[in-house]
């Protein structure tokens, strides 16, 4: 009986792990929206336009074209001079303390907001595989 119970427990755990990894894109975007509201909106603003000379825009940002750099910014923080849409910013963004799945969610959200039209689907695995 014990063996069967632990077998059942293992299957339940394994399948929830499976579900976790294959979270549908629509759920990821919805979660990403909440994360944006909690962790990003105060600087990058509800319309993703940021604040001139201080907080760079996410709306139509050409910085997002480089997905690796964008993931790194969220995973490890970002400071020093960067160029976004031809303008230089020289500020600092600390890591927001998000885990890999949360970073994937918020990126799936911002890549599809404010006129951004990416079809790329970020996953926790991609975030995990991105090194400094």
Q: Which residues bind ligand HEC (CB under 6 A)?
A: 39-40, 42-44, 55-58, 61, 63-64, 70, 73-74, 78-80, 82, 84, 89-93, 96, 98, 106, 110
Q: Distance between CA 62 and CA 69 in Å, rounded? A: 11
What's the closest the beta carbon of residue 128 comes to ligand HEC, in angstroms?
17
What's the closest the beta carbon of residue 59 comes to ligand HEC, in angstroms?
9
Shortest CA distance to 102 belongs to which of 19, 17, 39, 12? Answer: 39
Q: Distance between CA 132 and CA 48 in Å, rounded? A: 25
Indicate the residue among 9 and 81 with the shorter CB distance to ligand HEC: 81
Indicate the residue among 4 and 80 with the shorter CB distance to ligand HEC: 80
Q: Distance between CA 69 and CA 87 in Å, rounded? A: 17
What's the closest the beta carbon of residue 15 comes to ligand HEC, in angstroms?
30
Which residue lies nearest ligand HEC, judged by its C-beta? 40
Task: Decide if 118 contacts 124 (C-beta within 8 A).
Answer: no
DSSP one-letter code for 9: H
Indicate the residue among 11 and 51 with the shorter CB distance to ligand HEC: 51
Q: Distance between CA 66 and CA 25 in Å, rounded? A: 21
Indicate the residue among 2 and 65 with the shorter CB distance to ligand HEC: 65
What's the closest the beta carbon of residue 78 comes to ligand HEC, in angstroms?
5
Q: Distance between CA 125 and CA 100 in Å, rounded? A: 8
């Amino acid at each position: 009986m014990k063996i069967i119970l632990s077998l059942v427990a293992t299957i339940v755990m394994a399948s929830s792990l499976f579900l976790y990894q294959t979270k549908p894109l629509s759920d990821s975007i919805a979660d990403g929206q909440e994360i944006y509201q909690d962790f990003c909106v105060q600087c990058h603003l509800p319309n993703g336009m940021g604040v001139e000379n201080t907080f760079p825009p996410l709306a139509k940002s050409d910085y997002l074209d480089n997905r690796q750099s964008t993931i790194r910014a969220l995973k490890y923080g970002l400071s020093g001079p960067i160029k976004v849409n031809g303008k230089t910013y020289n500020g600092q963004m600390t890591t927001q303390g998000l885990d890999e799945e949360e970073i994937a969610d918020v990126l799936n959200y911002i890549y599809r907001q404010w006129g951004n039209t990416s079809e790329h689907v970020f996953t926790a695995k991609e975030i995990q595989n991105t090194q400094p």
